[in-house]
Copies of this chain bind each other. A is one copy, B any other.
Amino acid sequence: MAKNPVIGLLGGGQLGRMLCQAAAPLGITVAVLDAEDCPAKQINQNSLHVTGSFKDPEKIKTLASRCDVLTVEIEHVECDVLEEIATKGVEVPSPDGHGTVMKRVPVHPSYKTIRLIQDKFQQKEYFAKNGLPVAPQMAIESGDARSASIEQAAKSFGFPFMLKGAKGSYDGRGNFKVRGPDDFETAAAQMGDQPLYAEKFVPFQMELAVMVMRTEDDDGNLKKVYPYPVVETIHEDSICTKVFFPPRNVAEGITRRAQKVACDVVSRLWGRGVFAVEMFLAGDEIIVNEVAPRPHNSGHLTIELVPQRSQFRAQLDSILDRVPSSEFSFIPQFPSALMLNILGGAEPQSHDRLVKLTTDFYHPHANATLQMYGKSSKPGRKIGHITAWGQSAIEQLSERTSHLIRCMDEIRAERIGSTEAVRESELQSGPTPLVAVTMGSDSDLGTLSAGLKVLKDFDVPFVVRITSAHRTPHHMMQFAAEMNKSGCKAIIAAAGGAAHLPGMVASEVALPVIGVPVRASVLDGMDSLLSIVQMPRGIPCATVGIGNSTNAALLAIRILGVAFPEYADKMKAYQEKMKNEVLAKDEVMLSTGWEKYLNRQA
C-alpha cells in the first residue's frame, strides 16, 4: 500500500463527513463518490472526488481508479462491481504510458459482507448456522403463495410476529408487527411485492448495541476483533433517536456477554472496518437483531467518550491496517455519555431551539457538544446530533440534560402531531452527591449534625441515609455499592458500640471512607473508636475523634480538594479565618488581661 494512501468512500452523508473529520488531522486523503455538495465534501476539498451516485458502477470504477482502498458509509451499494474491482481490478493508464493495465483495489469491509448484510434474511440465516443467537425466522413466499405463507408463519410463531422486508430497508423501516389474523391483509398490502420474511417476536426490554473493530491480514485472515463499550439504544418511529452509555440498570455481566456476542458475530464476517451489532436484551438473553458493516449512529458518542480512537478513527486504522501492535482496548474516558439525534421537525426551523439549548449548555460536571451534518431539514431526517458526557453516573447525566431531552421530545410531538409523545423524563432523582453520609441508627444524627452543617456551609452536595450494619446489612451494602458507582467521592459513616458500619462500607467501596465513633451508653466511645480504627490490613477506614463529625466533614472537604480546586480554596480560606479568630482572641486576652477575660467568659 502506498505511503500516503487514498481512501475511496462510497457515500458522502453524515457518516462520510465524520470519517473525513477523523481523517484530516491524520493527513489521510479521502475521495468521496456522491453529490457535489454532500455533507462529506463540504468539509473535505480535494481533486479526487467523483460526482455521482454510489450505486452507479461506472462512477464506482472511476473512484476506484483514483484510490488505494475502497470503503462504504452505507451498505446499499452496487455489490457486483465491488467484487469485480477487488478481484479483477479496474482499468488504469499503464505506468509506461502505453495503454492500460488492471489495478486491483481492496474493498473493506469485503463485498461478501456487504452482500450478506444487504439481505437481512440471509444475514440471520448465516448467523443461526454459525450458532449465534438470533430469533427464529422463515422466508415468506411471493406472489399467490404469499397469503398461505403468512398464515404458516402465524402458525409457527404465534401472535404477535414480525413481517420484515429482506432488502433495502434500514433503521427498522419496512417492518410490520402482525398482531392477529385481522392484520394479514393490511400487512400484505403495506409490504407490497418486495421479498419478505417472518420473524418470531422477541419481547425485549431493551436494545443494546456494540461497535466492533475488525482487523485482518492481507490474505483475508481474521487478526482480531475489538469491542467498544456497550450502549443502550432507543428507537422511536423506527429511527434510533437516543443512545445511553452505559446502558441503564443493566448488570455488568450482561454487558460483557453482549460484547462477546458482538465479537463472535463480527469474527464471522469478512474484511476490515468497524461494524455495529444491534441486539435485543430479553430477560437475561441476548439476541442479535442486525449488523451494519460501517460506522453507525450508535457509535457517534465514541467521538467524545473514546476521543483517543472514535469509531471513525477506528474505521481508518482498520482499513489502512494501522492498528497498534500492542494489546489495546477502547477505554471510555468518562463514566457516562449520551447521544441525542437532531431530527428535522415539522418546520424547517423546528430544531433551532434544540441547537440553541445545546450551544448554551453549561454545567460544571456535564458537557454537551453539537454536531450538525450540513444537511437541510426535512421532517424526521437526521440532520445532526448532540453528545453529552459527564463525570458522573448516566442517571445524573440524563437529569442534567433533561431539558435537551424534553425539547427533543417536543419537537417530535409537533412533527408526528401528537402531544402524547412527550414523555416525562424518566430521570427524576436529585443532584449527584459528592459526599454520602450514613449512620447506623437515627440516634446518631445528633452527633452528625455539626458535620452536616459544615458540609452545607462549604456548599458540598451530599446525601444522608440510615443504613444499619446489623439491622439492614443488605440495604447497607447496596447503598455502598450505589455510592461507589455514582459520582460520590467520599463517604462519612457514623456508628457506636460494636461500630461495624464504617468498616463494612469501606469493604464494599473503593472510595475513602471516614468513620465517626459515636459515644454509646458505656465505655465513653472507646468501643466505637476501636471498632472503627482497628480495621484489618487491606481495608482502611479514616477515623476521626469520638463524636467529632465536624472533623469528618472537614476531612471529606480536604479530600474533595484533591480533585476539585474550589474545595481546596475554600479549605484554605476556612483555616485562615480560624487562625484569625484565635489571634483576635489572643489580642483581646493580652489587652484585657486573663482575669477580666475569664470573668467575661463566665
Contact = CB atoms under 8 A, between A and B. Distances in A.
A558 B371 CA distance: 37
Closest 6 CB pairs of A and B: A542-B542, A540-B551, A308-B367, A540-B555, A27-B372, A563-B563
Interface in A164-195: none
Given A540-B558, A562-B563, 15 more contacts: A20-B43, A21-B21, A26-B370, A324-B361, A328-B362, A329-B364, A333-B334, A333-B391, A510-B568, A512-B558, A512-B562, A529-B529, A543-B543, A559-B559, A562-B562
Nearest to A317: B359
A367 to B, nearest CB: 4
Contacts of A27: 355, 370, 372, 374, 384
Contacts of A554: 538-540
A368 interface: yes
A535 interface: yes
13 contacts: A24-B43, A41-B45, A324-B359, A325-B360, A333-B367, A533-B546, A534-B548, A537-B548, A538-B551, A541-B544, A559-B562, A560-B562, A562-B562
A551 B535 contact: yes
A420 B288 CA distance: 60
A420 to B, nearest CB: 31
Nearest to A369: B308
A310 to B, nearest CB: 10
A431 interface: no
A394 B572 CA distance: 20
A140 interface: no
A304 interface: yes
Given A43-B45, A537-B551, A554-B538, A510 B572 contact: yes
Contacts of A124: none
User: Among the interface residues A252, A328, A333, A511, which one has the most CB atoms of the partner chain B within 10 A?
Assistant: A333
B562 A537 contact: no
A391 B105 CA distance: 41
A296 B550 CA distance: 46
Contacts of A455: none
Contact of A324 (B334, B362, B514, B558): B362
A391 B575 CA distance: 23
A558 B510 contact: yes
Q: How many copies does the complex hold?
A: 2
A545 interface: yes
A533 B529 contact: yes
Nearest to A371: B25
A307 interface: yes
A247 to B, nearest CB: 14
Q: How large is the interface on A (under 10, 10 to 19, 20 to 34, 35 or more residues)?
A: 35 or more
Nearest to A550: B537
Nearest to A529: B533
A152 interface: no
Given A545-B534, A568-B252, A561 B511 contact: yes
A43 B233 CA distance: 32
Interface string A341-373: 000000000000001000111101001111110
A368 B308 contact: yes
A588 interface: no
A489 interface: yes
Given A360-B325, A534-B545, A559 B25 contact: no
A210 interface: no
Given A45-B42, A568-B510, A307 B308 contact: no
A555 to B, nearest CB: 4
Nearest to A37: B45
A490 interface: yes
A578 interface: yes
Nearest to A42: B45
A364 B327 CA distance: 10
A575 B510 contact: yes
Contacts of A514: 542
A381 to B, nearest CB: 14
Nearest to A47: B37
Contacts of A416: none
A23 to B, nearest CB: 10
A554 B506 CA distance: 11
A369 B540 contact: no
B559 A512 contact: yes
Contacts of A562: 489-490, 511-512, 559-560, 562-563
Given A45-B43, A543-B533, A360 B324 contact: yes
B550 A533 contact: no
A552 B540 contact: yes
A20 B25 CA distance: 12
A331 interface: yes
Interface in A306-330: 307-308, 317, 322, 324-326, 328-329
Contacts of A304: 307
